[in-house]
A and B are shown apart, each in its own frame.
Chain A
């Protein structure tokens, strides 16, 4: 059993010791010699979400079926293997310096499944900019919650008033009040990591890290390219470089092509409609380069708009003089966008933080 738990951990299921203990108890309550009973007792105790189930099934078949386990290699190994790939253009602007990205190889149809070693980036300017990013503390937008708190004014808090009256011998001497407590509104960042956005991806992820660090419970970050990847967990690491390295290895489609519409649909199906996008401020960071038709994108943006409190679109190219949103993707998305902003420099990011907190 313990060997199986180890196999599971390698496969990416967080089979913690207390879970393993629960599995042993479950097997004891059933039949140790019955493969089905062992299967279910492990699945019920060791898995924590639908993502785990597939990995569990594979690991179970491998471990008890006598096959050679073929676990998913941990992120660190993959990163080492692909150090040589994905040269990253360090041309992301400092200050207001503009860096027109190379638009030639964008939106490639092939998904380039390569991992980018973010830690390899060097350069004094980038170092300087990173330090500045660390100072960025985006203020959270607020909303009123259903939860109330005591307050000098507002509606009368009947139970507290009477409770106080009990202390005063049953005499109501003072009315106590309460009112709704403000809570941070959820912010969802969708960051395009396709080839055409690669000069900005690093800066955008740093911005995302600052946002997650400021309000870990109310911020969600996904990367979009040829597929959808949730990187919120990785970005919760305190150290920005470690967080970026972790999310870098979690993203399978760095600098690949773009399928904005389809990936946006995947986000809405899997997360957005269930609640992640509901009443949230959704920030899409992309240049809007869509390879295929833009119908899906237009449709999904309209759907997003109906779910979200506000939709912000960040396009790095908007910071350039004479920019017109002419790409098909931008044209399709703009009718459903509340705020269209630039995102090419630190100053632009500071503005973006302001837009989010006021949205």
Chain B
């Protein structure tokens, strides 16, 4: 990834004038969105609505949140979802160890305060461990990435819904914590299961597709400046061809980048069938797919500049 210095378009939400301006700013960070995605991201910023991104693995869902954080100059908080994810890992938890210590210390010092004061001091903000959702609300304005929400279970969706609907978290012992400015929320899903409609209804929905040939070449050139133009074009063309082959896992942009990097590391300046066959493991992750591509005439896939 090329680390160009990005001038954050900070300030209020009005800081970015429209989708085109946002697209240009994103391009400055090395993320090249198409028109629909730029509009979606702009609306998410302007309307304070979470952005729900679906699409094949490796089309750049997670990368968008990172790019948006850089463009807006906001801190990024990421919550990776998995089955069994609980409130204590996503919202907040009490630091019980330190609370016990505090209690013992108070005893040792023979604190004479009444029990109520002691109890109140136990549930102080400093004993609260903020997890990503709470962090994103406290450190406002921020960018919150809820990654692979389809991996979490229904119970988690229910309280995510609660947080996303009014951007507050209520802690019984402490009170309600509200975000001064709602965070820019990006939810991603690989569609391993259908996410509940109630959650989707609160979001802007965008289906991310593989980029077209020119955009993919541009992305490769942008992200991997050392790779030659010819290699980038040939990798993009071969990847596009692989996507039409009805494979178990069609390669995404991430795989194309891995492949180009692998080829570049081997010193290749263009994609010839031999070196392509040796590095196929960077793009294809199923034995069936590899067999299938090997069985095809190699020239048909990788030949022709």
Contacts and interface: CB of A to CB of B under 8 A. Distances in A.
Nearest to B246: A269
Main secondary structure of the interface of A (DSSP, over half): helix
Contact of B39 (A44, A50, A159, A170): A44
Contacts of A25: 47
A274 B192 contact: yes
Contacts of B46: 29
B139 interface: no
B61 to A, nearest CB: 14
Contacts of B49: 22
B21 interface: no
Interface in B185-211: 190-194, 197, 200-201, 204-207
Interface string A199-243: 000000000000000000100000000000000000000000000
Contacts of A278: 192
Contacts of B54: 49-50
B150 to A, nearest CB: 7
Given A26-B43, A30-B39, A30-B43, A166 B207 contact: no
Interface in A63-90: none
A30 B19 contact: yes
Contacts of A40: 35-36, 39-40
Contacts of B248: 269, 273, 303
B43 A146 contact: no
B104 interface: yes
A169 interface: yes
A112 interface: no
Interface in B1-25: 18-19
A41 interface: yes
B19 to A, nearest CB: 7
Contact of A50 (B35, B192, B201, B207): B207
Nearest to A146: B84
Nearest to A158: B96
B107 interface: yes
B179 to A, nearest CB: 19
B36 A166 contact: no
Interface in A156-198: 158-159, 162-163, 165-166, 169-170
Interface string A27-44: 001100000110011011
Q: Please name the 10 residue pairs, one residue from A and one from B, whose CB atoms are nearest each other, closest first.
A: A146-B84, A275-B192, A162-B96, A40-B39, A170-B103, A147-B84, A44-B204, A29-B46, A274-B192, A146-B83
Interface of A: 16, 18-19, 22, 25-26, 29-30, 36-37, 40-41, 43-45, 47-50, 53, 145-148, 158-159, 162-163, 165-166, 169-170, 217, 269, 273-276, 278, 303
15 contacts: A19-B201, A29-B47, A37-B19, A44-B36, A44-B43, A45-B205, A147-B155, A148-B84, A159-B93, A159-B94, A166-B99, A166-B122, A170-B100, A274-B192, A274-B193
